[in-house]
C-alpha cells in the first residue's frame, strides 16, 4: 500500500491561522489551545488507507524513534510566523530543537468533539462513507492518551461523539494505560461499532524502555492495561513496532514479550522493524551515539544512507515472531477477524514502513 504523506496533512493544517492561548503548563511542558477547522483527516489528504483523528499535535512521550516530529515542526513554524507577538511560540521555534519542541509544546484541539459531531451528523456524506466500511484510526501522529489527555479529556470527548454513531469501524493506537479510564465509553462503542485498541509495546525491559521512550508508561503498566481491556471484552492487539535492530530484537526479548501478551489475552500481534525518515533520523541517530555508542557505526552505515533495513531482516523478523505467536497462541500479522481488518493492520504498519521495500540491513546483523 502506497503511503506518501503530504507535508502537513498528517496532523491537520486545520489548526493554523487561529489564536493559540496557553491553556496549561505541566513541569516543562506548555499546552496551547487551538480551534481546529477539521479533525477528521481523509485518506486523500494523509495518503493513508483510512481516516484519522489526532486530538493533539505533539506528544510528551518522547520516543527516540518517533516519526511524527516533522508534523509538529510544520505547525510550530507556521503558527509562530502567523503570531509574531506570541512570545512562547517564538521562543519554542527559535530556541528549542524541533525534536524537543514536539515533546514540550503541545497543541490541544479544544473543539475536536464539536467539529466531529458536525461532520458525523447523521446522513452527512462523510458519515455515509464511514458507514460503508472505512475505518477511523485515532492516534496516527500523536498518542491520544498522552499526559495532556488526563487534563483536557479531548480524546474522551471524541470517543463520546463516536459512541453516538453506530456502525463505524474504529481503531485506537496508544501506549498509555489511560485508555482504560474510558472503558465505559469503549464498551458503548463496541456494542454498536467495530472497535480495536492497538497497544504499542516494544520491550518488557523497563530500564531499556525508559531510555528509548523516556516519558511513556512502563511496560508493566501497558500489560496491565491489556489485561484490563481484555477482561472488559475490548478487542486489543499489540503493536511490537518498531523493532529496533540489535537493541530490542533478540529472540529472548521477543519471546518474553509474546509470552507476556499471550498470557494477558492479546487479540493479535503485529510487528515491523525500524524505519527512519529524515526528521526521525535527525533525532534517533544522535540518540544511538549517546545511548548505544557501540552500535553507532552500524546504525550510521545503514540508516545514514537510507531509511530502511533490508527485506531479509524484515522477513526474518516476521518469521521468528510469527513462530513465537503460533507457539503461544496469539494470532499474528492481523487481528484475526476479517480481510478488511487485516488491510487495516497493514495500513497501520505502513505508518512505520512507508511505501518502499526494505532493502538494507545492518552491517553486521547478529540476530534474527
Residues that bind ligand SF4 (CB under 6 A): 59, 61-63, 66, 68, 142-143, 175, 216
Residues 6 or more apart whose Cβ sits within 8 Å of residue 150: 178
Of the pair 222, 264, the CB lying nearest ligand SF4 is at: 222
Can you give the length of the chain in residues? 368
CB of 64 to ligand SF4, least distance (A): 9
Within the chain, where are the H helices?
Answer: 43-46, 69-82, 87-95, 98-104, 112-119, 125-131, 147-152, 154-163, 183-192, 206-212, 219-231, 251-263, 278-291, 293-303, 311-328, 339-353
Rounded to the nearest 10 degrees, what angle do helices 219-231 and 251-263 cross at? 30
**Nearest approach, Cβ of residue 69 and ligand SF4 (Å):** 8
Least separation in angstroms between CB 319 and ligand SF4: 25
Q: How far is the CB of 167 from ligand SF4 (least distance, A)?
A: 29
* Least gap, CB of 244 to ligand SF4 (angstroms): 12
Nearest residue (CB) to ligand SF4, 200 versus 335: 200
The nearer residue to ligand SF4, 142 or 196, going by C-beta atoms, is 142
Output 161 or 241, the one with its CB closest to ligand SF4.
Answer: 241
Question: Toward ligand SF4, which CB reaches closer, 176 or 193?
Answer: 176
Of the two residues 49 and 62, which places its CB atom closer to ligand SF4 in the complex? 62
Cell numbers describing residue 321: 515472531
Unique residue bearing C-alpha cell 471484552: 233
Angle, helix 278-291 to helix 293-303, in steps of 10 degrees: 160
Comparing C-alpha atoms, which of 322, 166, 339 is closest to residue 255?
A: 322
Looking at beta carbons only, is 121 or 206 nearer to ligand SF4?
A: 206
What is the closest distance, in whole angstroms, from the C-beta atom of residue 175 to ligand SF4 in the complex?
5
* Local structure of 51: helix, strand or coil: strand
∠ CA 87-37-54 to the nearest 5 degrees?
80
* Cell numbers that stand for 77 in this block: 513554524
Q: 138 pairs with which residues across the strands? A: 53, 172
CB of 118 to ligand SF4, least distance (A): 27
**Which of residues 168 and 173 has its CB atom nearest to ligand SF4 in the complex?**
173
Pairing status of strand 105-109 against strand 56-57: antiparallel
Rounded to a whole number of angstroms, the minimum distance from the CB of residue 14 to ligand SF4 is: 18
Amino acid at each position: 500500500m502506497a503511503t506518501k504523506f503530504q507535508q502537513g496533512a498528517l496532523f491537520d493544517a486545520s489548526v493554523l491561522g487561529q489564536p493559540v492561548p496557553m491553556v496549561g503548563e505541566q513541569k516543562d511542558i506548555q499546552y496551547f489551545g487551538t480551534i481546529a477547522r477539521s479533525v477528521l483527516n481523509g485518506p486523500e489528504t494523509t495518503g493513508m488507507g483510512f481516516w484519522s483523528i489526532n486530538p493533539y499535535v505533539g506528544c510528551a512521550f518522547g520516543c527516540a524513534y518517533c516519526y511524527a516530529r516533522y508534523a509538529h515542526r510544520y505547525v510550530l513554524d507556521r503558527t509562530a510566523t502567523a503570531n509574531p507577538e506570541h512570545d512562547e511560540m517564538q521562543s519554542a521555534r527559535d530556541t528549542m530543537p524541533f525534536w524537543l519542541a514536539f515533546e514540550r509544546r503541545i497543541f490541544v484541539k479544544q473543539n475536536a468533539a464539536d467539529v466531529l459531531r458536525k461532520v458525523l451528523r447523521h446522513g452527512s456524506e462523510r458519515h455515509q462513507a464511514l458507514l460503508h466500511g472505512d475505518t477511523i484510526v485515532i492516534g496516527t501522529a500523536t498518542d491520544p492518551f498522552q499526559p495532556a489527555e488526563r487534563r483536557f479529556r479531548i480524546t474522551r470527548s471524541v470517543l463520546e461523539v463516536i459512541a453516538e454513531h453506530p456502525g463505524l469501524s474504529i481503531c485506537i493506537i496508544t501506549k498509555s494505560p489511560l485508555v482504560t479510564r474510558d472503558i465505559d465509553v469503549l464498551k458503548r462503542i463496541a456494542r454498536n461499532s467495530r472497535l480495536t485498541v492497538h497497544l504499542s509495546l516494544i520491550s518488557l525491559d523497563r530500564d531499556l524502555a525508559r531510555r528509548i521512550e523516556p516519558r511513556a508508561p512502563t511496560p508493566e503498566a501497558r500489560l496491565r492495561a491489556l489485561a484490563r481491556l481484555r477482561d472488559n471484552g475490548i478487542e486489543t492487539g499489540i503493536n511490537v513496532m518498531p523493532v529496533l535492530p540489535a537493541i530490542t530484537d533478540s529472540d529472548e526479548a521477543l519471546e518474553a514479550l509474546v509470552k507476556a501478551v499471550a498470557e494477558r489475552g492479546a487479540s493479535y500481534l503485529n510487528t515491523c522493524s525500524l524505519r527512519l525518515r529524515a526528521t526521525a533520523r535527525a533525532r534517533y541517530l544522535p540518540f544511538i551515539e549517546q545511548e548505544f555508542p557501540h552500535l553507532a557505526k552500524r546504525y550510521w552505515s545503514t540508516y545514514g544512507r537510507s531509511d530502511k533495513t533490508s527485506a531479509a531482516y524484515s522477513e526474518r523478523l516476521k518469521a521468528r515472531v510469527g513462530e513465537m505467536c503460533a507457539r503461544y497462541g496469539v494470532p499474528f500479522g492481523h487481528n484475526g477477524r476479517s480481510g478488511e481488518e487485516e488491510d487495516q493492520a497493514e495500513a497501520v504498519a505502513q505508518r512505520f514502513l512507508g511505501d518502499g521495500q526494505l532493502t538494507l540491513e545492518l552491517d553486521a546483523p547478529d540476530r534474527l
